[in-house]
Amino acid sequence: MKVLILGSGGREHALAWSVRRSPRVTELICAPGNGGMASIARCVPVDLKSLEAMVHLVETHQPGLTIVGPELPLALGIVDALQQRGFRVFGPTREAAMLETSKGFAKRFLQRHQISTARYAVCSSPAEVEQALDMFHPPMVVKADGLASGKGVIMCQSRRTALEAAQGLFAGTLLGEQERQVVIEEFLEGEEISFLCLTDSKHVVPLVPAQDHKRIGEGDTGPNTGGMGVYTTDTLLDPHMSEWILHHIAEPAVRGMADEETPYVGVLYIGLMMTARGPQVLEFNARFGDPETQAILVRLESDLVEAMQACIDGRLAEIELRWTQGASACVIASSSGYPGRYETGFPITGLDAARRIPGVEVFHSGTAAPNGQVITSGGRVLAVTAAADSLQQALGRAYQAIGEIHFEGMYFRRDIGHRALKRAR
């Protein structure tokens, strides 16, 4: 079978790597792909902001399965458009993807289905925000309703800064686009967990849970990023807690979407805060996480393509996923300046030496390979990932591998996994 993957980041490289292991797959195309995917798939250009261009690409190549990596094509309705033309595609429809594309929708949905989440108010004007703020104590969180690549969440220490943040979102001075809705939320304290599940809209199969590190700086300091590193271990969540989250959060969410006649098929990423009151939903994403996917898929023993096909065909109940025991870790190497301004085009060395370390996979997040020389082309550049029997060993391998790699201005956090290591002490 011919498989097409839409996207160009580390998540898509990991998906491509996993898809390549499936005996069902005879041909793999990545669009647009990157310097890493080019070594395991045919990369063809496409504009991921253009629904028309993506549909045209699929009509040209006629894949037996299309896998959608990032959120933007989902928000544009790529799944609906391909389904209407008779193509098989893994991902939620535009309406189902609203769990990610509208925070106001997600919060109201959670409330309708009595799924635990932070107290909130959805506001349509600064005047409404002013009124709503009477109900919140600082610190509070102000969020843009729409997709904002992690930049739409502002922690506020006072009523005044919350009002200013909301005004900035409505006026378009904070994100560049004017928001029509803004969400105010109570601030939650605890550890964050990324709980991802596959679903066919009836049955839910969790992937191994992961912990991301969103801030740029060590000790979780500095601005938010797309994610600077992530790990999974067999002990990240107690088995009872995993069951609780499955039965009280993931399954009710999927059932709720089906009951509202917007059935959700694909991967559902549930961002959780583990608070003293129990797990609370911070956000939904309608796609795989990046870099969660890299750390999760290096532990997947089962055939990812088979599981995705089962989601599309509504027979996920037949599937049980097998995982290697132990742990995995992924450390992001980024360009100097990220998540702000950064330069690209620097040659990367040491990739072969890094890959020779046992258990290590170097996924490319933002690279290009013109004339065969791999160069930097993005803010997050590489996702250096390792699986092992223990977290210490997985981290040791990932850091040893990253030590082999060099490019000008390379930055990485040296404390990935710090919470788990502290717990283990």
With a CB cutoff of 8 Å and minimum separation 6, the contacts of 27 are 1, 2, 3, 42
* 212 part of the interface to ligand GLY, by CB under 6 A: yes
C-beta of 145 vs 200, nearer to ligand AMP: 145
Task: Rule CB under 6 A: choose which of 153, 357, 383, 402 binds ligand AMP.
Answer: 153
Task: Rule CB under 6 A: choose which of 95, 185, 192, 290 binds ligand GLY.
Answer: 290
The piece of 74-82, 186-194, 332-340, 351-359 that touches ligand AMP (CB under 6 A) is 186-194
Q: How many residues bind ligand GLY (CB under 6 A)?
A: 7
- Mask of contacts with ligand AMP, 355-394, x by CB under 6 A? ----------------------------------------
Q: Cβ of residue 333: shortest distance to ligand AMP, in angstroms?
A: 21
CA distance 365 to 369: 12
141 binds, among ligand AMP, ligand GLY, none (CB under 5 to 8 A by kind): ligand AMP
CA distance 156 to 135: 15
Helices (H), 314-372: 351-355
Task: Rule CB under 6 A: choose which of 8, 211, 285, 385 binds ligand GLY.
Answer: 285
399 binds, among ligand GLY, ligand AMP, none (CB under 5 to 8 A by kind): none
Residue number of the CB closest to ligand AMP reads 283
153 binds, among ligand AMP, ligand GLY, none (CB under 5 to 8 A by kind): ligand AMP
Helix (H, G, I), strand (E, B) or coil at 315: coil
CA distance 163 to 374: 46
145 binds, among ligand AMP, ligand GLY, none (CB under 5 to 8 A by kind): none
Task: Rule CB under 6 A: choose which of 54, 99, 188, 216 binds ligand AMP.
Answer: 188
CA distance 68 to 77: 11
CB 401 within 8 A of CB 372: no
| Cβ-based neighbour number of residue 82 at 10 Å | 23
Helix (H, G, I), strand (E, B) or coil at 226: coil
Task: Rule CB under 6 A: choose which of 187, 244, 323, 411 binds ligand AMP.
Answer: 187
Quick one: the chain helix, strand, coil %, rounded to 5? 35, 25, 40
* 209 part of the interface to ligand GLY, by CB under 6 A: no
289 binds, among ligand GLY, ligand AMP, none (CB under 5 to 8 A by kind): ligand GLY
* 192 part of the interface to ligand AMP, by CB under 6 A: yes
* 283 part of the interface to ligand AMP, by CB under 6 A: yes
- Calculate the alpha carbon distances from 178 to 141, 166, 168, 239, 288 in Å: 18, 11, 8, 43, 27
* 185 part of the interface to ligand AMP, by CB under 6 A: yes
The piece of 51-59, 183-191, 238-246, 362-370 that touches ligand AMP (CB under 6 A) is 183-191
- Calculate the alpha carbon distances from 289 to 338, 339, 411 in Å: 19, 17, 21
C-beta of 143 vs 203, nearer to ligand AMP: 143
Q: Cβ of residue 116: shortest distance to ligand AMP, in angstroms?
A: 12
179 binds, among ligand GLY, ligand AMP, none (CB under 5 to 8 A by kind): none
* 292 part of the interface to ligand GLY, by CB under 6 A: yes
CB 104 within 8 A of CB 289: no
- Of 124, 90, 121, 71, the C-alpha closest to 284 is 71
CA distance 91 to 15: 13
Phi-psi region of 417 (alpha: psi -120 to 50; beta: other; left: phi over 0): left
Where along the sequence are the contacts to ligand AMP (CB under 6 A)? 118, 141, 143, 153, 185, 187-188, 192, 214, 271, 282-283
